[in-house]
Amino acid sequence: MNRGVFVSKKILVLEDDLPSLKLIKAILEKYNYEVIESSESLHAIQLAKDLKPNLAIIDVMLPTLNGYQVCERLREIPALQSMPIIVLTVLNEDQHRIRAIEAGATDFLTKPFDRVELLTKIKALLSVQEERSHCEPFDRVFYCLMTALSSRNPEIKKKGQRVVRLAEQIALQLNLPMEDVTEMKLGIMLQDVGQLGMARDIHICNLKETTDEHRVLGYNMFIHFDRPVIKTIILHHHDHLKSDPYPSDLPVAIIPLLNIAALCNHFDTLYYNLSSPSLPDIMTVIGEETRQGYWDKTIYHALKDLAANPELLPQR
């Protein structure tokens, strides 16, 4: 491509309130974005299939299909699975944000929105998307390794998906940057990749006996990638704050991501064990461990809030 030619980014805007649609369109066009507009869900999905926008802005309250359902449909389209999606909503409660993330949303904007905030989010998401486009070799490695790991032991993928869902909800409560959360999720899915280098009779249930070996093997697989969050989670996802040694030289931004991943792994081990005690008993145990300094208090309280609503937890 000729680097001297400016190519404007295409943004799909799905909004059934016409004044709002016109306002968003005017704001975006002023900053040289190409706007693909629609006021109807199915029409917008077809436009997305045909025109493949770089980003989508979707209102939640829509006729026919609501915004969550539109997100889910868009994520089923292979070419749009990594497209950033900003959800517009007047609903600011955590459960609505969690529902949006589960549907595939990337970020949120509460109505009435601020023009500067909208433009800032768009710029940041498109920038991350641009960086990701240069990371295809890593993405290919990720999918190849996950395919191999799932073929060897499907339970690893199932556990990873449960831990990712829980960790993502906690990170959302703590307002961590979305790009950091994405790296955390990848790290969790890859945390047991070291099993690929171990004897075939090793099973997820006796990983505790081979913790150091599988973590080091997994870390070494990614040692030449500049993905510090992923490498840290692979190496330390079994560590608590009193582990000896606990990594003391981590960048500040990585610490909460690791602590979330570690606590969610611990919770998953307790909660999804067939012989495990009840949820209240599990939270009592983790609460006592937190008081003794094993877990970060802020992260524990976020987990406790989720545990108070078991419907938000992955099915047992």
pLDDT string in tens for the chain (316-residue length): 333 334 589 999 999 999 999 999 999 999 999 999 999 999 999 999 999 999 999 999 998 899 999 999 998 887 888 899 999 988 766 677 778 888 888 888 888 889 999 999 999 999 887 776 665 567 777 878 888 888 888 888 889 999 999 999 999 999 998 889 999 999 999 999 888 877 655 444 444 445 678 888 888 888 878 889 999 999 999 999 998 777 878 889 999 999 999 999 999 999 988 677 889 999 999 999 999 999 999 999 999 999 998 887 877 7
Based on the domain organization, do 175 and 43 belong to the same domain?
A: no
Last residue of one domain, picked from the residues 133, 167, 201:
133
Instruction: Retrieve residue 135's tokens.
Output: 């990371």
Please give the pLDDT value at position 1. Answer: 36
Based on the domain organization, do 79 and 192 belong to the same domain?
A: no
Alpha-carbon span 203 to 200, nearest angstrom: 8
Cis upstream peptide for 228 (omega within 30°): no
In the chain, the number of structural domains is 2
Distant-in-sequence, close-in-space partners of 33: CB < 8 Å, separation ≥ 6: 8, 9, 10, 11, 122
Last residue of one domain, picked from the residues 106, 133, 160:
133
Closest CA to 163 of 232, 68, 263, 35: 263
Based on the domain organization, do 35 and 107 belong to the same domain?
A: yes
CB distance 232 to 256 below 8 Å? no
CATH code at 105?
Answer: 3.40.50.2300
Closest CA to 35 of 122, 133, 112: 122
Based on the domain organization, do 164 and 98 belong to the same domain?
A: no
Place of tokens 């300094």: 293
**Residue 82 domain-assigned (yes or no):** yes
Last residue of one domain, picked from the residues 133, 166, 198:
133
Closest CA to 279 of 297, 267, 262: 267
Please give the pLDDT value at position 209. Answer: 45
CATH code at 196?
Answer: 1.10.3210.10
Alpha-carbon span 16 to 306, nearest angstrom: 33
Place of tokens 């960048």: 251
Q: Which helix (H) or strand (E) holds 23?
A: helix 18-30
Q: Which residues of 174-202 are buried (b: 16+ CB within 10 A; e: fewer)?
A: eebebbebbbbbbbbbbbbbbbbebeeeb
Based on the domain organization, do 125 and 155 belong to the same domain?
A: no
Structural domain for 293, as ranges: 136-312
- Overall pTM surpassing 0.75 (yes/no): no
**Residue 22 domain-assigned (yes or no):** yes
**Residue 90 domain-assigned (yes or no):** yes
Percentages helix, strand, coil for the chain, rounded to the nearest 5?
A: 60, 10, 30
The residue type found at 180 is D
Please give the pLDDT value at position 206. Answer: 47
**Residue 141 domain-assigned (yes or no):** yes
